[in-house]
Structure 1
Amino acid sequence: MKIHFAKYQGTGNDFVMIDNRNDFFPKNDTLLIKKLCDRRFGIGADGLILLENDAETDFRMVYYNSDGNESSMCGNGGRCLVAFAKKLHVIQQEADFIATDGLHHASVLEDGTISLQMKEVDFIKKEADYVFLNTGSPHHVTMVNDLKNYDVKNKGAEIRYSDLYGKPGSNVNFVSQIADNHFALRTYERGVEDETLSCGTGATATAIAMHALGKTQAHHIFLDVEGGKLEVSFVKEGDRYTHVFLKGPATFVFEGEITC
């Protein structure tokens, strides 16, 4: 079987994109998805995303981690899928699409960056040394000293596999503050089981967590990730964070065919 694909990246978080509107892709073939994401024997990516038809929206997003398993929402992947949909002429400048965590709206801005509406957050667990919340995917957020030299892979795995989160595990974000509304973060992603250069739901979780902790009063947060820069904005309504938007680049890398 030959599969036509496109490769996209959002601040270094990279994805294999497949147009599955004809429903040809073997969605339960975990080994195939894992192989396509393999950086030595396949295309190489942090995840694989299918663009599918949806009766009520512009398209459906189906996301798989690089381990081959279908996973929860991916913010960088969502932005990249919007860019892919625009390239396929499925959309023009605006999109409404459905993902595993519900409905999303996105806009392609004049400079090519994409603004993606994320899910509302109405529950935040605040502990002495970490915050936990779900921004479409579960995220553990903790502040650390010397982020540049922090052992993200080992410390992240330790938390991800701890009894704190059980079998499903959690993504883990390590954060340092640069200025009032400016933070840096590094993320260990479950399913990739390693640090990635960026995590969109992690950036969103970090921005909201820092506001919830009182580290910033700003509602527009700038975030430095290993692969570039992201922005998160939101509105605080009582105990809920609404109108949450993740803004950043979504860049076409290459396309081709692979025989499987």
Structure 2
Amino acid sequence: MQLEFYKYQGTGNDFVMIDNRSNFFPKENTQIIAHLCDRRFGIGGDGLILLEKDQIASNLATTTDFKMVYYNSDGNQSSMCGNGGRCLVAFAKKLQVIENEATFIATDGLHHATIDEEGLVALQMIDVAEIKISSDHVFLNTGSPHHVQLVDDLENYNIKENGAAIRYGHLYGKVGSNINFVKQIDDTTFSMRTYERGVEDETLSCGTGATAVAIAMNVLAKTTATSINLNVEGGKLVVSFDKGEGKFTNVFLKGPAEFVFKGTIEI
């Protein structure tokens, strides 16, 4: 069949977007999803995202605009993707599902977002309370699990080799974790690079990772700021939050979400 798709990217994190409000897409076929995300034989993307109607919320009389269903590029359904969520908000606006504000459900719960005239999307992430601090890293869940580690020479650091070693190592077992390596630039700015599970390689950006890094740097007292700039390989993101009683609330991830192209492919 002919599949209509849209391609979006948020600071280099790129996604295949599909309007699945009619529930036509073969969601259980991981091979098709992996093929669509393949950069040589398919469309190419760090993941695939379906925009669907939120049937559960409708039944519970909860007001949502849509549901987000996210798949890693290996074809498997995964945990929350921050940049993917921001791109999905831009996609929903293009489809005229929303105007400038959205409320949607994802695998980690309810999300609110706004999109401005310049295409910058601010996405509310989940509250974070449980943070594990170790001698050389911090671990926390920002919708997806993240390992955060400071390194000296970030520019020349072997992200794929070192990231894979930790992702598959004794710390996280079979489930694994996303791995973020960080360098401090100034009091409010950090550079980061991320090895993403499911992609099994470095990506140009990771939204839940940027959120994790911002919170981790605050927890480690590397910054007292509650609005933090993150330099990722594909651009710049801003993470802001409120902090109180060991809990981070009103967590927002903000950055660009851009339409790349639209097309059809036979599956």
Deviation of 1:111 after TM superposition, in Å, equals 2.1
Match of 2:121 in 1: 114
Q: 1:72 aligns with which of 75, 79, 83?
A: 79
Match of 1:141 in 2: 148
Please say if 1:235 is aligned against 2:234.
no
Q: Percent identity?
A: 70
Map 1:217-228 → 2, pairs under 5 A? 217-228=224-235
Equivalent-residue separation in structure 2 for 1:168 and 1:51 (angstroms): 26
Please say if 1:100 is aligned against 2:107.
yes
Equivalent-residue separation in structure 2 for 1:95 and 1:76 (angstroms): 15
Task: List gaps (5 residues or longer) in structure 1.
Answer: none
Deviation of 1:163 after TM superposition, in Å, equals 1.3
1:92-130: per-residue Cα shift (whole Å, max 9, x none)? Answer: 000000000000000002322000000000100000100
Please say if 1:39 is aligned against 2:1.
no
Q: 1:163 aligns with which of 166, 170, 173?
A: 170
Q: Secondary structure at the match of 2:96?
A: coil
Match of 2:97 in 1: 90
Deviation of 1:237 after TM superposition, in Å, equals 1.4
1:230-252: per-residue Cα shift (whole Å, max 9, x none)? Answer: 00000001110000000000000
Equivalent-residue separation in structure 1 for 2:244 and 2:42 (angstroms): 45
Aligned residues: 260
1:34-81: per-residue Cα shift (whole Å, max 9, x none)? Answer: 000000000000000000001231000000000000000000000000
1:123-147: per-residue Cα shift (whole Å, max 9, x none)? Answer: 0000010000000000000000110
Give the TM-score of the pair, scaled to structure 2. Answer: 0.97
Equivalent-residue separation in structure 2 for 1:28 and 1:224 (angstroms): 36
Moved more, 5-14 or 107-116: 107-116
Match of 1:18 in 2: 18
Equivalent-residue separation in structure 2 for 1:97 and 1:113 (angstroms): 17
Equivalent-residue separation in structure 1 for 2:49 and 2:106 (angstroms): 11
Q: Secondary structure at the match of 1:111?
A: coil
Map 1:120-139 → 2, pairs under 5 A? 120-139=127-146
Match of 2:191 in 1: 184
Equivalent-residue separation in structure 2 for 1:98 and 1:147 (angstroms): 35
Please say if 1:63 is aligned against 2:66.
no
Task: List gaps (5 residues or longer) in structure 2.
Answer: none
Deviation of 1:5 after TM superposition, in Å, equals 0.3
Please say if 1:247 is aligned against 2:249.
no
Give the TM-score of the pair, scaled to structure 1. Answer: 0.99
Equivalent-residue separation in structure 1 for 2:266 and 2:29 (angstroms): 15
Q: Secondary structure at the match of 1:207?
A: helix
Cα RMSD, aligned residues only: 0.5
